[in-house]
Homo-oligomer: A and B are copies of this chain.
Amino acid sequence: MKLYAVIMAGGVGSRFWPNSRMEKPKQLLKIFNDNTMIQDTVDRLSKLVDDENIFVITNTVQKPFIVDQLKNIPKKNIIAEPFGKNTAVCIGLASVIIESFDKDAVTITLPADHLISPKSVFHKTIKNAANYAYKNGGLVTIGIPPTRPETGYGYIQIGESSSEQDIYKVKTFAEKPNVGTAHRFLESGDFLWNSGIFIWRVDSILEEIRQLMPDLDDGLTSIRKHIGKSTFDSQLSQVYGQLKNISIDYGIMEKSRNVYIIRGEFNWSDVGSWEEVYNLSKKDENGNVLKGDTYVEESFDNYISNDDKFTAVIGVENLIVINTPDALLICDRHSSQNVKHVVDYLKMNKKSDLL
């Protein structure tokens, strides 16, 4: 069994404005340490997947930055989609490419911008899932045991046990719940967070696409014969223009009868907002996270990231302050999901230099 990774790195990450921009979304930023999030994602795969078996699916804008950040990954493995068409299409494309040289490949499909620790538990989970997927041909997703009634994540309800420890049939997928439902999910004990990490054999996922997404299957078929040829890019553009924007959850996972879930007993976050970055960061004795040249007086529980210039804060609490060379965000910590409204405003007002 040979393991491959498919890193999905197409997101625009408007919730991390002003650090994130069209060409530098969250996965390309150094948020928690001196590595960017996609660099951490690749590091996390080391000793599990060989560098030459790691593939990144991104877009033309981000591709040069990713090539630059991931020097150990073969450049040909970093593939730009002509348009973003959601995860089902992205996964289909990666699968036919990998299938073209390894029909027995087992792939780990995962987003580029999640925070996961410790690595050892992550590896153990992936290995168990990969063994199961290799042997049984199932589609395995990782579910994270919830630690709070989070309304920002999708949930998956576990069903009957499989033959393997910690691997279950999936009973239902549930969209992001309201608070009451999230509490019920948490208390029930049989709902796990949908991590968006999938493990399967390429032939398994391609067979599911064949059955459940025949339009996508047709598209992939017409791409297949151009793989490795000079006609690939133009064929991709032509086919992508006609494909539907559908998530793998909606297109396959919620419909297939061959879906399994493994408990991921590691710390996991999709790092969906500046508030979440604050929650996941190490605080000083006043509950502050401070980056850059900052004077702080009587201020508590703030996240202050300052790439630009000397910043003084006095008497403030629960703020997110992001100071970049060309834009400044000051946001109540608990309102940080509204940062995307700023991006909407900038688009509406054609301030494209700040996007």
* Bound Cα distance A334, B341 (Å): 29
Interface positions, chain A 242-256, Cβ under 8 Å from B, are: none
Interface locus among A59-67, A107-115, A190-198, A322-330: A322-330
Q: Which residues of B contact A323 (CB under 8 A)?
A: 328
Least CB distance, A140 to chain B, in whole angstroms: 39
Which listed residue, B306, B316, B327, B336, touches A331 by the CB 8 Å rule?
B316
A339 interface residue (CB < 8 Å to B): yes
| CB contact under 8 A between A314 and B331, given known A295-B342, A297-B341 | yes
Give chain B residues whose Cβ lies under 8 Å from the Cβ of A351: 310
Q: How far is the CB of A130 from chain B (nearest CB, A)?
A: 43
**A276 in the interface, Cβ–Cβ < 8 Å?**
no
Docked pose: A330 CA to B321 CA in angstroms: 9
Contact A335 B295 (CB under 8 A): no
Contact check, A314 vs B332: say whether CB atoms are below 8 A apart: yes
Residues from chain B with Cβ under 8 Å of A354 in the complex: 310
Which residues in B have their C-beta under 8 angstroms from that of A308?
A: 328
A225 in the interface (beta carbon within 8 A): no
A331 & B315 in contact (Cβ 8 Å cutoff): yes
**Chain A residues packing against B (C-beta within 8 Å):** 17-18, 295, 297-298, 306, 308-316, 319, 321, 323, 325-332, 334-336, 338-339, 341-342, 345, 351, 354
Q: Which residues of B contact A339 (CB under 8 A)?
A: 312, 314
Residue in B312, B319, B327, B341 whose CB lies within 8 Å of A329? B312
User: A139 vs B51: C-alpha distance in the bound complex, in angstroms?
Assistant: 87
A303 to chain B, nearest CB (A): 12
Chain B min CB distance to A17 (Å): 8
Q: Is the Cβ of A315 less than 8 Å from the Cβ of B332?
A: yes
Decide yes or no: A330 and B311 within 8 Å by CB, A316-B319, A319-B316, A335-B298 being known contacts: yes
Return chain B residues, CB-CB under 8 Å to A316: 319, 330-332
**Additional 16 contacts, C-beta under 8 A, given A297-B341, A306-B328, A312-B329:** A17-B312, A295-B345, A308-B328, A309-B328, A310-B326, A311-B328, A311-B329, A312-B327, A312-B328, A312-B331, A312-B342, A313-B331, A314-B330, A315-B331, A315-B335, A328-B328
Query: CA A330 – CA B330 in complex, angstroms?
Result: 9
Smallest CB gap from A321: residue in B: B330
Which residues of chain B are within 8 angstroms of A342 by Cβ–Cβ distance? 295, 297, 312, 314
Contact (Cβ within 8 A) A330 B319? yes
Residue of A314, A325, A351 most packed against chain B (CB within 10 A):
A314
- Give the complex CA separation of A339 and B316 in angstroms: 13
Cα–Cα distance between A341 and B339 once the two chains are bound (Å): 31
